[in-house]
Protein backbone atom coordinates (compact mmCIF):
# COMPACT_ATOMS: atom_id res chain seq x y z
CA UNK A 1 0.00 0.00 0.00
CA UNK A 2 1.46 3.34 -1.00
CA UNK A 3 0.73 6.67 0.58
CA UNK A 4 1.88 9.87 -1.07
CA UNK A 5 2.02 12.15 1.91
CA UNK A 6 1.19 15.78 1.45
CA UNK A 7 3.11 17.09 4.44
CA UNK A 8 6.55 15.69 3.58
CA UNK A 9 6.14 15.55 -0.20
CA UNK A 10 7.26 11.94 -0.09
CA UNK A 11 5.95 8.43 -0.41
CA UNK A 12 5.54 5.91 2.40
CA UNK A 13 4.77 2.23 1.91
CA UNK A 14 2.65 0.48 4.53
CA UNK A 15 2.82 -3.32 4.60
CA UNK A 16 0.57 -5.38 6.86
CA UNK A 17 3.15 -8.10 7.37
CA UNK A 18 6.04 -7.87 9.72
CA UNK A 19 9.28 -8.94 8.07
CA UNK A 20 9.26 -12.71 7.68
CA UNK A 21 12.10 -15.05 6.84
CA UNK A 22 11.41 -15.69 3.15
CA UNK A 23 12.97 -19.14 3.27
CA UNK A 24 10.12 -20.37 5.47
CA UNK A 25 7.52 -19.41 2.91
CA UNK A 26 8.38 -21.43 -0.16
CA UNK A 27 7.23 -18.60 -2.43
CA UNK A 28 6.43 -19.56 -6.01
CA UNK A 29 8.77 -18.18 -8.64
CA UNK A 30 7.54 -15.43 -10.90
CA UNK A 31 7.93 -15.21 -14.62
CA UNK A 32 8.70 -11.69 -15.65
CA UNK A 33 7.77 -12.23 -19.22
CA UNK A 34 8.26 -8.84 -20.53
CA UNK A 35 10.98 -6.31 -21.15
CA UNK A 36 9.80 -4.36 -18.16
CA UNK A 37 11.56 -1.07 -18.24
CA UNK A 38 10.36 -0.15 -14.74
CA UNK A 39 11.99 -3.17 -13.14
CA UNK A 40 14.92 -3.37 -15.44
CA UNK A 41 17.35 -1.45 -13.33
CA UNK A 42 16.66 -3.57 -10.28
CA UNK A 43 16.19 -6.89 -12.00
CA UNK A 44 19.17 -6.82 -14.28
CA UNK A 45 21.66 -6.34 -11.50
CA UNK A 46 24.43 -8.86 -11.94
CA UNK A 47 24.03 -10.40 -8.50
CA UNK A 48 20.34 -11.11 -8.84
CA UNK A 49 19.47 -14.80 -8.68
CA UNK A 50 17.30 -15.31 -11.73
CA UNK A 51 17.09 -17.42 -14.87
CA UNK A 52 17.16 -15.50 -18.14
CA UNK A 53 15.46 -16.83 -21.23
CA UNK A 54 13.82 -15.57 -24.40
CA UNK A 55 11.52 -18.23 -25.80
CA UNK A 56 9.10 -20.89 -24.73
CA UNK A 57 8.64 -23.67 -27.24
CA UNK A 58 5.44 -25.56 -27.93
CA UNK A 59 6.14 -29.16 -28.89
CA UNK A 60 3.91 -32.08 -29.74
CA UNK A 61 4.16 -35.57 -28.26
CA UNK A 62 6.63 -36.57 -30.98
CA UNK A 63 8.93 -33.72 -29.91
CA UNK A 64 8.22 -31.65 -33.05
CA UNK A 65 8.40 -27.91 -32.59
CA UNK A 66 4.95 -26.52 -33.35
CA UNK A 67 5.21 -22.90 -32.16
CA UNK A 68 7.55 -20.48 -30.44
CA UNK A 69 6.39 -17.91 -27.90
CA UNK A 70 8.71 -14.97 -27.18
CA UNK A 71 9.29 -13.87 -23.60
CA UNK A 72 10.92 -10.56 -24.26
CA UNK A 73 14.19 -11.07 -26.09
CA UNK A 74 17.23 -8.86 -26.09
CA UNK A 75 17.54 -8.66 -29.88
CA UNK A 76 13.91 -7.83 -30.61
CA UNK A 77 12.97 -5.79 -27.54
CA UNK A 78 16.13 -4.95 -25.61
CA UNK A 79 15.44 -7.20 -22.62
CA UNK A 80 15.26 -10.90 -21.97
CA UNK A 81 12.53 -12.58 -19.97
CA UNK A 82 13.43 -13.89 -16.56
CA UNK A 83 12.20 -16.29 -13.95
CA UNK A 84 12.84 -15.22 -10.41
CA UNK A 85 11.67 -16.14 -6.92
CA UNK A 86 9.36 -13.45 -5.64
CA UNK A 87 11.27 -12.92 -2.39
CA UNK A 88 14.43 -12.17 -4.40
CA UNK A 89 12.56 -9.54 -6.40
CA UNK A 90 10.83 -8.09 -3.32
CA UNK A 91 14.15 -7.84 -1.45
CA UNK A 92 15.66 -6.06 -4.44
CA UNK A 93 12.77 -3.61 -4.69
CA UNK A 94 12.88 -2.91 -0.95
CA UNK A 95 16.62 -2.21 -1.25
CA UNK A 96 15.89 0.16 -4.16
CA UNK A 97 13.33 1.98 -1.99
CA UNK A 98 15.86 2.26 0.81
CA UNK A 99 18.40 3.75 -1.59
CA UNK A 100 15.81 6.40 -2.51
CA UNK A 101 14.93 7.06 1.14
CA UNK A 102 11.36 5.82 0.70
CA UNK A 103 10.34 4.31 4.04
CA UNK A 104 8.50 0.97 4.31
CA UNK A 105 6.48 0.61 7.49
CA UNK A 106 5.87 -3.03 8.35
CA UNK A 107 3.06 -4.32 10.58
CA UNK A 108 0.70 -1.54 9.40
CA UNK A 109 -2.57 -3.04 8.23
CA UNK A 110 -4.83 -0.60 6.37
CA UNK A 111 -8.33 -0.74 7.80
CA UNK A 112 -10.58 1.91 6.23
CA UNK A 113 -10.87 5.40 4.77
CA UNK A 114 -11.97 7.91 7.40
CA UNK A 115 -12.40 10.98 5.19
CA UNK A 116 -11.88 11.70 1.49
CA UNK A 117 -12.37 15.21 0.11
CA UNK A 118 -11.00 16.92 -3.01
CA UNK A 119 -9.79 19.88 -0.91
CA UNK A 120 -8.09 18.11 1.99
CA UNK A 121 -7.05 14.74 0.61
CA UNK A 122 -7.70 11.46 2.31
CA UNK A 123 -7.46 10.37 5.93
CA UNK A 124 -7.31 6.64 6.54
CA UNK A 125 -7.00 4.29 9.50
CA UNK A 126 -4.88 1.24 10.30
CA UNK A 127 -6.02 -1.81 12.21
CA UNK A 128 -3.93 -0.64 15.19
CA UNK A 129 -6.18 2.43 15.51
CA UNK A 130 -3.69 5.00 14.19
CA UNK A 131 -4.55 7.29 11.26
CA UNK A 132 -2.64 9.05 8.48
CA UNK A 133 -3.50 11.86 6.08
CA UNK A 134 -2.22 12.09 2.53
CA UNK A 135 -2.95 13.53 -0.89
CA UNK A 136 -3.05 10.17 -2.69
CA UNK A 137 -3.64 6.71 -1.30
CA UNK A 138 -2.73 3.87 -3.68
CA UNK A 139 -4.08 0.43 -2.90
CA UNK A 140 -1.40 -2.03 -3.98
CA UNK A 141 -2.72 -4.55 -1.49
CA UNK A 142 -3.37 -7.52 -3.73
CA UNK A 143 -6.35 -9.22 -5.30
CA UNK A 144 -8.40 -9.11 -2.09
CA UNK A 145 -7.63 -5.41 -1.66
CA UNK A 146 -9.12 -3.69 1.39
CA UNK A 147 -8.44 -0.29 -0.17
CA UNK A 148 -10.56 -1.29 -3.19
CA UNK A 149 -13.44 -1.95 -0.80
CA UNK A 150 -13.68 1.79 -0.24
CA UNK A 151 -14.78 2.20 -3.87
CA UNK A 152 -16.59 -1.13 -4.18
CA UNK A 153 -17.80 -2.35 -0.77
CA UNK A 154 -19.73 -5.32 -2.17
CA UNK A 155 -17.35 -6.41 -4.91
CA UNK A 156 -16.35 -10.06 -4.75
CA UNK A 157 -13.54 -11.68 -6.70
CA UNK A 158 -14.75 -14.34 -9.14
CA UNK A 159 -13.31 -17.83 -9.57
CA UNK A 160 -12.94 -18.72 -13.26
CA UNK A 161 -13.10 -22.49 -12.79
CA UNK A 162 -9.45 -23.13 -13.46
CA UNK A 163 -6.31 -23.69 -11.41
CA UNK A 164 -2.60 -23.90 -12.13
CA UNK A 165 -1.00 -26.90 -10.44
CA UNK A 166 2.79 -26.76 -10.27
CA UNK A 167 5.72 -28.34 -8.48
CA UNK A 168 9.44 -27.80 -8.31
CA UNK A 169 11.76 -30.73 -8.99
CA UNK A 170 15.43 -31.05 -9.85
CA UNK A 171 16.23 -30.86 -13.57
CA UNK A 172 18.37 -33.94 -13.16
CA UNK A 173 15.31 -36.01 -12.25
CA UNK A 174 13.82 -35.45 -15.73
CA UNK A 175 16.70 -36.98 -17.73
CA UNK A 176 15.88 -34.65 -20.61
CA UNK A 177 17.13 -35.67 -24.05
CA UNK A 178 20.30 -33.76 -25.04
CA UNK A 179 19.60 -30.25 -26.40
CA UNK A 180 15.88 -30.42 -25.60
CA UNK A 181 14.88 -26.76 -25.16
CA UNK A 182 13.11 -25.65 -21.99
CA UNK A 183 10.88 -23.78 -21.16
CA UNK A 184 8.52 -26.00 -23.13
CA UNK A 185 4.81 -26.68 -23.25
CA UNK A 186 4.12 -30.16 -24.54
CA UNK A 187 0.67 -30.14 -26.03
CA UNK A 188 -1.76 -33.03 -26.40
CA UNK A 189 -5.48 -33.39 -26.93
CA UNK A 190 -5.72 -34.38 -23.24
CA UNK A 191 -4.09 -31.15 -22.08
CA UNK A 192 -0.57 -29.78 -21.91
CA UNK A 193 2.41 -30.30 -19.62
CA UNK A 194 4.78 -27.40 -18.95
CA UNK A 195 8.42 -27.45 -17.90
CA UNK A 196 10.38 -24.27 -17.07
CA UNK A 197 13.91 -23.94 -15.70
CA UNK A 198 14.68 -21.77 -12.71
CA UNK A 199 17.52 -20.81 -10.39
CA UNK A 200 20.37 -19.02 -12.06
CA UNK A 201 21.85 -22.22 -13.52
CA UNK A 202 18.52 -23.83 -14.42
CA UNK A 203 19.24 -26.71 -12.03
CA UNK A 204 15.65 -26.68 -10.83
CA UNK A 205 12.51 -26.90 -12.98
CA UNK A 206 8.93 -25.91 -12.46
CA UNK A 207 6.53 -28.51 -13.83
CA UNK A 208 2.82 -27.93 -14.20
CA UNK A 209 -0.58 -28.50 -15.72
CA UNK A 210 -3.82 -26.56 -15.70
CA UNK A 211 -6.88 -28.09 -14.08
CA UNK A 212 -10.60 -27.45 -14.46
CA UNK A 213 -12.11 -27.11 -11.00
CA UNK A 214 -15.80 -26.90 -10.05
CA UNK A 215 -15.99 -24.59 -7.03
CA UNK A 216 -18.15 -26.02 -4.24
CA UNK A 217 -20.77 -23.61 -2.96
CA UNK A 218 -19.09 -23.12 0.40
CA UNK A 219 -16.98 -20.24 1.68
CA UNK A 220 -13.29 -20.97 2.16
CA UNK A 221 -13.30 -23.90 -0.31
CA UNK A 222 -10.26 -22.39 -2.03
CA UNK A 223 -8.17 -22.50 1.16
CA UNK A 224 -8.96 -26.21 1.53
CA UNK A 225 -8.23 -26.76 -2.16
CA UNK A 226 -4.84 -25.06 -1.91
CA UNK A 227 -3.97 -26.95 1.29
CA UNK A 228 -4.61 -30.34 -0.38
CA UNK A 229 -1.07 -30.93 -1.66
CA UNK A 230 -1.64 -34.66 -2.13
CA UNK A 231 -4.48 -33.85 -4.56
CA UNK A 232 -2.02 -31.71 -6.54
CA UNK A 233 0.54 -34.51 -6.72
CA UNK A 234 -2.12 -36.97 -7.87
CA UNK A 235 -3.28 -34.54 -10.56
CA UNK A 236 0.27 -33.98 -11.82
CA UNK A 237 0.91 -37.74 -11.89
CA UNK A 238 -2.38 -38.59 -13.61
CA UNK A 239 -2.74 -39.06 -17.38
CA UNK A 240 0.95 -38.82 -18.18
CA UNK A 241 1.25 -42.13 -20.06
CA UNK A 242 0.99 -40.48 -23.49
CA UNK A 243 3.75 -37.93 -22.75
CA UNK A 244 7.47 -38.56 -23.42
CA UNK A 245 9.43 -40.47 -20.75
CA UNK A 246 10.96 -37.36 -19.24
CA UNK A 247 7.49 -36.15 -18.21
CA UNK A 248 6.94 -39.36 -16.33
CA UNK A 249 10.38 -38.94 -14.76
CA UNK A 250 9.40 -35.39 -13.80
CA UNK A 251 6.37 -36.53 -11.81
CA UNK A 252 7.95 -39.73 -10.44
CA UNK A 253 8.86 -37.99 -7.17
CA UNK A 254 7.24 -34.74 -6.03
CA UNK A 255 8.00 -33.24 -2.63
CA UNK A 256 4.65 -32.10 -1.11
CA UNK A 257 6.48 -29.04 0.28
CA UNK A 258 7.34 -27.98 -3.25
CA UNK A 259 3.85 -28.06 -4.68
CA UNK A 260 1.79 -24.98 -5.51
CA UNK A 261 -1.92 -24.76 -6.28
CA UNK A 262 -3.19 -21.53 -7.78
CA UNK A 263 -6.95 -21.22 -8.24
CA UNK A 264 -7.51 -18.42 -10.76
CA UNK A 265 -9.65 -15.61 -9.38
CA UNK A 266 -10.39 -12.40 -11.27
CA UNK A 267 -11.62 -8.99 -10.28
CA UNK A 268 -14.71 -8.16 -12.36
CA UNK A 269 -14.18 -5.27 -14.76
CA UNK A 270 -14.43 -2.09 -12.67
CA UNK A 271 -16.25 1.01 -13.81
CA UNK A 272 -13.69 3.28 -12.16
CA UNK A 273 -10.28 2.65 -10.68
CA UNK A 274 -10.02 5.90 -8.73
CA UNK A 275 -12.05 8.30 -6.65
CA UNK A 276 -10.96 11.92 -6.51
CA UNK A 277 -8.21 10.97 -4.12
CA UNK A 278 -8.12 7.26 -3.66
CA UNK A 279 -7.02 5.14 -6.60
CA UNK A 280 -7.77 1.45 -6.75
CA UNK A 281 -7.13 -0.85 -9.67
CA UNK A 282 -8.17 -4.20 -11.03
CA UNK A 283 -5.73 -7.06 -11.11
CA UNK A 284 -6.11 -9.29 -14.17
CA UNK A 285 -6.05 -13.05 -14.01
CA UNK A 286 -2.67 -14.10 -15.22
CA UNK A 287 -1.00 -16.70 -17.32
CA UNK A 288 2.37 -15.33 -16.31
CA UNK A 289 1.43 -11.66 -16.78
CA UNK A 290 0.29 -10.78 -13.25
CA UNK A 291 3.42 -9.22 -11.91
CA UNK A 292 4.26 -7.49 -15.19
CA UNK A 293 0.87 -5.86 -15.22
CA UNK A 294 1.22 -4.78 -11.59
CA UNK A 295 4.46 -3.04 -12.59
CA UNK A 296 2.82 -1.41 -15.60
CA UNK A 297 -0.05 -0.12 -13.46
CA UNK A 298 2.23 1.50 -10.98
CA UNK A 299 4.85 2.72 -13.45
CA UNK A 300 2.37 4.55 -15.67
CA UNK A 301 0.61 6.00 -12.65
CA UNK A 302 3.97 7.26 -11.35
CA UNK A 303 4.84 8.78 -14.74
CA UNK A 304 1.54 10.66 -14.71
CA UNK A 305 1.71 11.78 -11.09
CA UNK A 306 5.27 12.98 -11.66
CA UNK A 307 3.82 15.51 -14.13
CA UNK A 308 0.59 16.23 -12.25
CA UNK A 309 1.49 19.92 -11.92
CA UNK A 310 1.52 20.25 -15.73
CA UNK A 311 -1.93 18.83 -16.44
CA UNK A 312 -5.18 20.73 -16.24
CA UNK A 313 -7.11 17.95 -14.49
CA UNK A 314 -5.86 15.13 -12.27
CA UNK A 315 -9.22 13.44 -12.73
CA UNK A 316 -8.66 13.35 -16.52
CA UNK A 317 -5.14 12.00 -15.98
CA UNK A 318 -6.51 9.16 -13.82
CA UNK A 319 -9.19 8.44 -16.45
CA UNK A 320 -6.48 8.22 -19.10
CA UNK A 321 -4.48 5.89 -16.84
CA UNK A 322 -7.48 3.62 -16.34
CA UNK A 323 -8.50 3.58 -20.03
CA UNK A 324 -4.98 2.89 -21.25
CA UNK A 325 -4.34 0.17 -18.68
CA UNK A 326 -7.78 -1.44 -19.14
CA UNK A 327 -7.17 -1.67 -22.87
CA UNK A 328 -3.96 -3.63 -22.25
CA UNK A 329 -5.61 -5.76 -19.57
CA UNK A 330 -8.38 -6.65 -22.06
CA UNK A 331 -5.77 -7.72 -24.59
CA UNK A 332 -4.09 -9.86 -21.96
CA UNK A 333 -7.39 -11.59 -21.22
CA UNK A 334 -7.51 -12.48 -24.93
CA UNK A 335 -3.90 -13.66 -24.81
CA UNK A 336 -4.74 -15.82 -21.79
CA UNK A 337 -7.43 -17.49 -23.89
CA UNK A 338 -4.90 -18.26 -26.61
CA UNK A 339 -2.61 -19.84 -24.04
CA UNK A 340 -5.48 -21.79 -22.47
CA UNK A 341 -6.46 -23.20 -25.88
CA UNK A 342 -3.01 -24.75 -26.06
CA UNK A 343 -2.96 -25.93 -22.44
CA UNK A 344 -6.41 -27.37 -21.88
CA UNK A 345 -7.81 -30.63 -23.26
CA UNK A 346 -9.51 -30.25 -26.65
CA UNK A 347 -12.78 -31.32 -24.95
CA UNK A 348 -12.68 -28.29 -22.61
CA UNK A 349 -16.04 -26.48 -22.50
CA UNK A 350 -14.56 -22.99 -22.28
CA UNK A 351 -11.70 -23.05 -24.81
CA UNK A 352 -11.93 -26.53 -26.40
CA UNK A 353 -12.65 -27.32 -30.05
CA UNK A 354 -16.43 -26.89 -29.67
CA UNK A 355 -16.22 -23.70 -27.60
CA UNK A 356 -16.13 -21.26 -30.51
CA UNK A 357 -12.81 -19.79 -29.32
CA UNK A 358 -10.64 -19.42 -32.41
CA UNK A 359 -6.98 -20.27 -32.19
CA UNK A 360 -4.72 -17.50 -33.48
CA UNK A 361 -1.00 -16.98 -33.90
CA UNK A 362 0.99 -15.13 -31.27
CA UNK A 363 1.85 -11.55 -32.12
CA UNK A 364 3.30 -10.00 -28.98
CA UNK A 365 4.64 -6.70 -30.29
CA UNK A 366 1.80 -4.78 -28.61
CA UNK A 367 2.82 -6.37 -25.31
CA UNK A 368 6.56 -5.85 -25.44
CA UNK A 369 7.03 -2.77 -27.57
CA UNK A 370 5.17 0.17 -26.04
CA UNK A 371 7.14 3.23 -25.07
CA UNK A 372 5.32 4.12 -21.86
CA UNK A 373 7.24 7.35 -21.31
CA UNK A 374 6.34 8.62 -24.76
CA UNK A 375 2.70 7.58 -24.40
CA UNK A 376 2.40 9.45 -21.11
CA UNK A 377 4.40 12.48 -22.28
CA UNK A 378 2.25 12.78 -25.41
CA UNK A 379 -0.92 12.67 -23.31
CA UNK A 380 0.43 15.25 -20.86
CA UNK A 381 1.48 17.56 -23.70
CA UNK A 382 -2.03 17.41 -25.16
CA UNK A 383 -3.64 18.14 -21.79
CA UNK A 384 -1.37 20.85 -20.47
CA UNK A 385 -2.81 23.61 -18.26
C1 LIG B 1 0.77 -19.48 -6.92
C2 LIG B 1 0.93 -18.21 -7.70
C3 LIG B 1 1.83 -18.18 -8.77
C4 LIG B 1 1.98 -17.01 -9.51
N5 LIG B 1 2.87 -17.00 -10.55
C6 LIG B 1 3.05 -15.88 -11.26
C7 LIG B 1 4.01 -15.83 -12.33
O8 LIG B 1 4.69 -16.80 -12.64
N9 LIG B 1 4.16 -14.66 -13.01
C10 LIG B 1 3.42 -13.56 -12.70
O11 LIG B 1 3.61 -12.53 -13.35
N12 LIG B 1 2.50 -13.58 -11.71
C13 LIG B 1 2.29 -14.70 -10.99
N14 LIG B 1 1.37 -14.71 -9.98
C15 LIG B 1 0.56 -13.50 -9.77
C16 LIG B 1 1.35 -12.47 -8.99
O17 LIG B 1 1.73 -13.02 -7.75
C18 LIG B 1 0.44 -11.25 -8.76
O19 LIG B 1 -0.03 -10.76 -9.99
C20 LIG B 1 1.22 -10.14 -8.06
O21 LIG B 1 1.77 -10.61 -6.85
C22 LIG B 1 0.31 -8.96 -7.79
O23 LIG B 1 1.07 -7.99 -7.13
P24 LIG B 1 0.38 -6.95 -6.13
O25 LIG B 1 1.48 -6.08 -5.63
O26 LIG B 1 -0.79 -6.32 -6.80
O27 LIG B 1 -0.22 -7.83 -4.94
P28 LIG B 1 0.50 -8.80 -3.90
O29 LIG B 1 1.72 -9.40 -4.46
O30 LIG B 1 -0.59 -9.70 -3.41
O31 LIG B 1 0.96 -7.82 -2.74
C32 LIG B 1 0.03 -7.18 -1.90
C33 LIG B 1 0.75 -6.76 -0.63
O34 LIG B 1 -0.16 -5.95 0.14
C35 LIG B 1 -0.13 -6.39 1.48
N36 LIG B 1 -1.46 -6.11 2.07
C37 LIG B 1 -2.63 -6.76 1.85
N38 LIG B 1 -3.62 -6.21 2.55
C39 LIG B 1 -3.08 -5.15 3.21
C40 LIG B 1 -3.61 -4.18 4.11
N41 LIG B 1 -4.90 -4.17 4.45
N42 LIG B 1 -2.77 -3.25 4.63
C43 LIG B 1 -1.44 -3.23 4.29
N44 LIG B 1 -0.88 -4.14 3.46
C45 LIG B 1 -1.70 -5.08 2.92
C46 LIG B 1 0.16 -7.90 1.41
O47 LIG B 1 0.70 -8.37 2.64
C48 LIG B 1 1.16 -7.94 0.25
O49 LIG B 1 2.49 -7.76 0.67
C50 LIG B 1 1.20 -15.85 -9.20
C51 LIG B 1 0.30 -15.89 -8.14
C52 LIG B 1 0.16 -17.05 -7.39
C53 LIG B 1 -0.82 -17.05 -6.24
pLDDT tens digits for range 190-220: 999 999 998 888 899 999 999 999 998 898 9
350 secondary structure, DSSP code: T
The atom number, within ligand 1, closest to the CA of 147 reads 41
Q: Identify which of 232, 291, 298, 325 to mutate to test ligand 1's pocket (most ligand atoms within 8 A of the CB).
A: 291
Q: Would 250 be classed as within a structural domain? A: yes
Residues 6 or more apart in contact with residue 304 via CB below 8 angstroms: 311, 317, 318, 320, 321, 376, 379, 380
Q: Would 237 be classed as within a structural domain? A: yes
Q: Identify which of 86, 141, 325 to mutate to test ligand 1's pocket (most ligand atoms within 8 A of the CB).
A: 141
Ligand 1 center to 182 CA (angstroms): 26
What's the domain range around 172?
158-266
Query: Taking the model in full, what pTM does it have?
Result: 0.85
Q: Would 179 be classed as within a structural domain? A: yes
Q: Would 6 be classed as within a structural domain? A: no
The atom number, within ligand 1, closest to the CA of 108 reads 43
Q: Whose CA is nearest to atom 27 of ligand 1?
A: 142
CA distance 63 to 68: 13
* CATH code of 163's domain: 3.30.9.30
pLDDT of residue 291: 84
Q: Are 63 and 244 in contact (CB under 8 A)?
A: yes
Pocket lining: 288 vs ligand 1, CB cutoff 6 Å: yes
Long-range contacts of 79-82 (CB under 8 A, 24+ apart): 79/34, 79/35, 79/36, 79/37, 79/40, 79/44, 80/35, 80/52, 80/53, 80/54, 81/31, 81/32, 81/33, 81/34, 81/52, 81/53, 81/54, 82/31, 82/32, 82/43, 82/50, 82/51, 82/52, 82/53
Residues 6 or more apart in contact with residue 203 via CB below 8 angstroms: 170, 171, 172
Task: With cut-offs at 50, 70 and 90, classify the pLDDT of residue 152.
Answer: confident
Into how many domains does the chain fold?
Answer: 1
Q: Would 182 be classed as within a structural domain? A: yes
Q: Would 125 be classed as within a structural domain? A: no
pLDDT of residue 34: 46
Pocket lining: 232 vs ligand 1, CB cutoff 6 Å: no
Polymer length of the chain? 385
CA distance 318 to 179: 49
Q: Whose CA is nearest to atom 49 of ligand 1?
A: 15
CA distances from 289 to 168, 320, 338 (A): 20, 22, 13
Amino acid sequence: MRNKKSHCNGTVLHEQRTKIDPQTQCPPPLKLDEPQRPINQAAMEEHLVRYNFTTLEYRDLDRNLTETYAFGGNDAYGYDGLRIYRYVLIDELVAALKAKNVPVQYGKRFSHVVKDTPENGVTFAFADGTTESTTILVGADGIHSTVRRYLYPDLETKFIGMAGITATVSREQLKLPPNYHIPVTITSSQGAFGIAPQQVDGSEVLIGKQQRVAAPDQPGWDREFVADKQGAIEFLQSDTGHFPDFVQNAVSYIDPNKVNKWPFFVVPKLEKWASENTPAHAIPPSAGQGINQAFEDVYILALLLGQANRVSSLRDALSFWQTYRQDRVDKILELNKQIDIRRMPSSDNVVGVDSGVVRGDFDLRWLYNPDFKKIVNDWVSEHEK
